[in-house]
A and B are shown apart, each in its own frame.
Chain A
Amino acid sequence: MGKDPIFSLRGVEFAYPGASFYALRGVDLEVSEGEWVALVGANGSGKSTLAKICNALLIPAQGDCFVMGANTREEALIPDIRRNVSLVFQNPEDQIVASIVEEDVAFGPENLGLPSSEIKRRVDRALGLAGLLNERRKGSFSLSGGQKQRLALAGALALEPAALLLDESTSMLDPEGRLSFLSCLGSLKLSGMTIVQITHRMEEAIQSDRVVVIDAGRAVWDGSPGDFFDGAYRDWSFEEPPGVALYRELLGRGLLPGGTLPDVDSMLGALCL
């Protein structure tokens, strides 16, 4: 298409001030528009650091990070970068700015200096997408954990970004809450949103288009979820999702055709047969 990729990282290295080691040691990664990438890896492997690099909250020590063609080193471009990609953190309580739900969602657009009619339109849309329309006048802290997590998502969506960076944003949700969060992500993806999702949950990784494994500050594996669960996942001691385990078991007993793991849709199709 000749368009810039959403994220383009070239040899990104980063060490926290005062730390004796590099949290990132040469990450090369390209994410194109409309992709849903699952970023997986052990605790402390550098996933959150990578997300902050992509949002220009941290600047690489070596290498460059381009967001839609803009280098995060150029300070003048940082406002545009943050407008283009929104970051949702793990703990929603640390992201609540205002005490009322709709005012919290409005915080981002208010910072952009938009007219109030436009802010209102964005708040309505974001609350709708996050399923919080009925809670808009409630106190932010009176929400349940799952609702707070969706509030954090709404706050990010109100910036109407091209890409979402989610750092373990489903960790506080119960199974039902996670499903509705994921289906929300699914419909965002259909509307063309690029999603980079950091997760420890393999059943979330399997829903993505692409899995990237981060290990000790490097991107060490990059491929489709099918390939990932077909063997690669074993190299870094990831857990196998029950669905995949079942599929593999049925394959092994010769109850399903084919020898390798296909993508989720065909797996589902096969299991339902």
Chain B
Amino acid sequence: MQFLSGISLGQFIPGDSLLHRLDPRCKIISTFLLITGLFMASKIPDLVLWGIFLLALPALSGISLKTILKSARPILFLVAITALLNLFWTPGRAVFQAGFLKVTEEGLMTAFEMGMRLFFLVVFASMLMMTTNPMAFSDGLERLLSPLSKIGFPSSEMAVMMTIALRFIPTLFEETDRILKAQLSRGADFESGGLLKRARSFIPVLIPLFILVFQRAENLAIAMESRCYVPGMARTRLNPLVWSGKETAAILGLLAFITAVVLLDRSYFLGFVAI
């Protein structure tokens, strides 16, 4: 039994596409711009533009639309909850009523809208992770945060820490899977009983998992030390980051797109009010 298969959480997919080759700093900034843009608009039509943008992603990243959409799977639950909350808690003209539950026209619109925005947010964020290798990602973040190191923020240590954390994800899954199987083979039961009982049955999995992971982290720290790592010391890079014309162009293009989206949203809003 493969308990943890199918968990991808937007893991890096190696490739050589335009998006893969962009400087990670550019991609991190772009993701922030996209998310800001996504929540600056508030009406339905801009969602169409975001949809078109999403459809362009496979061509830009070399990753199939199916894989891109799948990256949102782990949070579909959250999307559903958000949509439901908006569905029932938005005041307005009732379309349907059962007891105290009232679905309004506005509620329907907001539920769809918020659900979609959250969905786009996750897809864009995982696009960043899928096209940026973890090392480059932490390098990018380190460089973006490096002005903060002047006021004592350990941006370089943070970058190494993040690299390690990302590198530990497969280990974590592997070890959990192994312990689960070991417990299963000794007759452990993770599937029957109520929520509490099931939660309790995971304790014998979590304890060895923590011990193992701490041990391995300790071993890794020793290995890093023996490979001349000294926390806080200046490091150089095999692939130094380069910000070229295409990064500037990408940012400008994105800004233009977001401006268009926001303008459309505003003008639609105005038109709506006029009627």
Stretch at the interface among A97-105, A192-200, A218-226: A97-105
- Residues of B within 8 Å of A52, CB to CB, are 222
Cβ-defined partner of A57 (8 Å) among B14, B222, B229, B237: B222
| A112 with B228, Cβ < 8 A, contacts A119-B237, A137-B14 known | yes
**A96 in the interface (beta carbon within 8 A):** yes
Chain A, residue nearest B240 (CB): A116
- A27 close to chain B: CB less than 8 A: no
Q: Contact string, A148-168, partner B, CB cutoff 8 A, digits 1/0?
A: 000000011001000000000
Give A23 Cβ to nearest chain B Cβ, in Å: 15
The answer to whether B226 touches A55, judged by C-beta atoms less than 8 angstroms apart, is yes
**B237 contact set on A, CB distance < 8 A:** 106, 110, 116, 119
User: B273 interface residue, CB < 8 Å from A?
Assistant: no
Q: Is A32 an interface residue (CB 8 A)?
A: no
Interface residues on B, range: 20 to 34
Residue in contact with A111 in the complex, picked from B133, B167, B219, B235, CB distance below 8 Å:
B235
A-B contact count (CB 8 A): 105
A100 touches B236 (CB 8 A): no
- Determine whether the beta carbon of B227 is less than 8 Å from that of A111: yes
B60 on interface, CB distance cutoff 8 Å: no
We find that the number of chain A residues with CB closer than 8 angstroms to chain B is 42
Contacts of B14 in A (CB 8 A): 100, 137-139
Are B166 and A79 in touch, CB under 8 angstroms?
no
**Residues from 26 to 71 in A contacting B, C-beta threshold 8 Å:** 52, 55, 57
Give the complex CA separation of A123 and B227 in angstroms.
14
Contact of A116 among B134, B224, B227, B238 (CB under 8 A): B238
Q: Are A123 and B238 in contact (CB under 8 A)?
A: yes
Of B164, B216, B234, which one neighbours A93 at CB under 8 angstroms?
A: B216
Asked if A111 and B135 sit within 8 Å, CB to CB, the answer is no
Apart from A97-B224, A106-B237, what 18 extra A-B contacts exist at CB < 8 Å?
A57-B222, A57-B225, A57-B226, A82-B227, A83-B228, A93-B171, A95-B227, A96-B167, A97-B220, A97-B223, A99-B133, A99-B135, A99-B163, A99-B167, A100-B135, A107-B224, A108-B227, A137-B14
Give the 10 A-B CB pairs with smallest separation, nearest first: A106-B238, A94-B219, A95-B223, A111-B228, A108-B227, A87-B226, A141-B170, A119-B238, A103-B135, A110-B235
Residues of A within 8 A of B (CB): 52, 55, 57, 79, 82-83, 86-87, 89, 91, 93-100, 102-103, 106-116, 119-120, 123, 137-141, 155-156, 159
